[in-house]
Amino acid sequence: MSKIVITGGAGFIGSHIAEGLAKDNHEIVIVDNLDDYYPIDLKKRNIDIALNSGDATFINADITDLSRMKEIIDDTVDYVYHEAAQAGVRISVENPFKPNDINVFGTLNVLKASMDADVKKVINASSSSVYGKVKYMPFDEQHPTEPVSPYGVSKLAAEQYCRVFYEVYGLPTTSLRYFTVYGPRMRPDLAISIFTRKMLANEPITIFGDGEQTRDFTYVEDVVEANKKLLNNKSTDGKILNIGSGNRISVNDLIKNIRELVGSESEVKYAKVQKGDAENTLANVNLANQLIGYEPRVNIEKGLARFIEWMKVKNN
């Protein structure tokens, strides 16, 4: 079994990856600075779940601190899953400096420490936000990258540093472009989380735009399986892969589906489009299927039902 460092391991996706790899009997080191971007109590619960899943430890550290990264990512570490980031498209519009500091400089620190420690691979969490302006759909990995938010720019820069560290320095890296991941333990500021919480309470819902914008929503379980498949896989070295569901749904239809599952009477209100929001996303996952056998298994109907059941239990 391998020793694996997971940066951002207290977050939504990172904690699911930590839990899954711990259950597979790997030695897991969760690294997180417990940033208060959303409630720290939620992150602590995520950590506890991972710690109770197998051989896992937690270190409170910040990826912007190179010396700490070098201490943690040493020559005993086999793999690094780099999930730490300043998330939030709209937040990045308000403050473009924080995502740059964390997502770009922080990624450089993780890469440098990993290179010095001679790890087998760094798996970098990227985002469909790197695509931005739509030229055609579905997005394949060759689609032009013109981000429409500082967040998207920072994730694109991180991807390119990963590629360069492979091509120039020989550090094996793979970047996964996640398409709107959702599921249990998801961040409370994400759309599905907000809509479900408000519908369960029969509170009004606000949609930014006309609701006809579409998203490719990816269930977190599929994301974890994609990440697991990168262990001991050299065919993905230096590559960038889309990880999505390969399907899209409009925000209006998403709300309709949640309403039916919850039995809600929430009123829907419409507001002006927010700066930095992508209009449409849809993943072409053929490359991921070809290289790692990636096949998304949880469609939006099944995923929403699972998430809503989790929300009901959490709120009781």
Active-site residue numbers?
Answer: 151
Tell me, letter by letter, the H, E, C secondary structure of the chain: CCEEEEECCCCHHHHHHHHHHHHCCCEEEEEECCCCCCCHHHHHHHHHHHHCCCCEEEEECCCCCHHHHHHHCCCCCCEEEECCCCCCHHHHHHCCHHHHHHHHHHHHHHHHHHHHHCCCEEEEEEEHHHCECCCCCCECCCCCCECCCHHHHHHHHHHHHHHHHHHCCCCCEEEEEECCEECCCCCCCCHHHHHHHHHHCCCCEEEECCCCCEECCEEHHHHHHHHHCCCCCHHHCCEEEEECCCCCEEHHHHHHHHHHHHCCCCCEEEECCCCCCCCECCECCHHHHHHHCCCCCCCHHHHHHHHHHHHHHHHC
